[in-house]
Amino acid sequence: MIGGGRPGRAPPSPRDDRARGPRSLAALALGFAILIAGFAALGVWQVERLHWKLDLIARVDARIHAAPVPAPGPADWRSITAKSAAYRHVAVEGRYRPGATLVLANTDLGPGFWVLSPLEATRGFTVLVNRGFVGQDHTPAMLAPPAGTQRVTGLLRVTEPGGAFLRHNDPAHDRWYSRDVAAIARARGLGTVAPYFIDADRAADHAANPRAMPVGGLTVVHFRNAHLVYAITWFALALLSAGGAFIVFRAERRLRRGRG
């Protein structure tokens, strides 16, 4: 109004009309609470997984560097799992049976094959031994196992059934992409074999003859451990949700004060 007189109170701003009702606020609070609790719980779970992974890595490292123990015989086969036995340093004596199975491999030495040969142990069972890596230009002489009684030391590995990523073993055409013990035993007519294979250690005389094939001791032991990153991510999301809740409810409080 133009002219004298006391100006009246200004009408409420459009922002004043945005204040939520009690039910809306309760639903909003519940939603934020669920988000914060859920993200925090996932963060705690990842911390627990981190401790489990670190413990696993420590146990496997101890197995790898321990003195070799006798390879499990038939009485212990049912108890073998990846958690209980993988990468255990073992030893076995016996004679190699004829034949070798080539499994596609890609190592620090380039593309080629793992050479798996059946070993008839003196303790009365057969086990597949990964004698090592040969290149794509390998010769038949490289595949022939040594004669006579051999003592093999290496890391116990659990069978790899089925095949590798996007590649399936094809026994009919003798194409192997994973070390599937049972399938190889069937294809080669080996009968009952141990449900694991042994990655043989590098030969003691390899330093004197570095070009000798197969090359053992190329097992890569790697455990992906991103649990700490995941935990930080989940806890950060919980904090962001808490911050969002604080901003929203502080704005609601200001709106109510403005109305008053």
HEC letters along 189-201: CCCCCCCEEEEEC
From the CB of residue 93, how many other CB atoms can be counted at a distance below 10 Å? 14
pLDDT at 10: 53
pLDDT above 70: percentage of residues in the chain:
88
Domain ranges, ordered by start, for the chain: 23-66+227-260, 88-200
pLDDT at 15: 46
Residue 94's H or E segment, with its range, is: strand 89-96
The one-character DSSP state at 97 is P
**Token couple for 20:** 């939520």
The one-character DSSP state at 175 is B
Of the candidates 165, 205, 166, 197, the residue with the CA atom closest to the CA atom of residue 179: 197
The pLDDT-based confidence of 7 (bands split at 50, 70, 90) is low
CB 164 within 8 A of CB 144: no
Rounded to an integer, what distance in angstroms lies between the CA atom of residue 54 and that of residue 72? 26
Q: Which range, of 28-32, 151-155, 234-238, averages the lowest pLDDT?
A: 28-32
Rounded to an integer, what distance in angstroms lies between the CA atom of residue 212 and that of residue 140? 13
User: Residue 119 — φ and ψ, nearest 5°?
Assistant: -115, 125
Distances (CA, A) of 158 to 34, 35, 86, 144, 176: 42, 41, 6, 24, 16
The pLDDT-based confidence of 72 (bands split at 50, 70, 90) is very high
207 has a pLDDT exceeding 70: no
| CA angle (135 as vertex; 131, 137 as ends), nearest 5 | 125
- Rounded average pLDDT over 196-223: 80
Of the candidates 125, 146, 248, 129, the residue with the CA atom closest to the CA atom of residue 193: 125
E-assigned strands of 97-188?
101-107, 110-121, 126-135, 149-158, 163-164, 167-168
Q: Render pLDDT for 145-187 as a digit per residue (tens, 0 to 9).
A: 999 999 999 999 999 998 877 789 999 999 999 999 999 999 9
Put residue 164 in one of left, alpha, beta given phi > 0 → left and psi -120 to 50 → alpha: beta
From the CB of residue 104, how many other CB atoms can be counted at a distance below 10 Å? 17
CB 169 within 8 A of CB 180: yes
What angle separates helix 227-259 from helix 22-65, to the nearest 10 degrees?
A: 170
232 has a pLDDT exceeding 90: yes
90 has a pLDDT exceeding 50: yes
The pLDDT-based confidence of 84 (bands split at 50, 70, 90) is confident
* Mean of the per-residue pLDDT values of the chain: 86
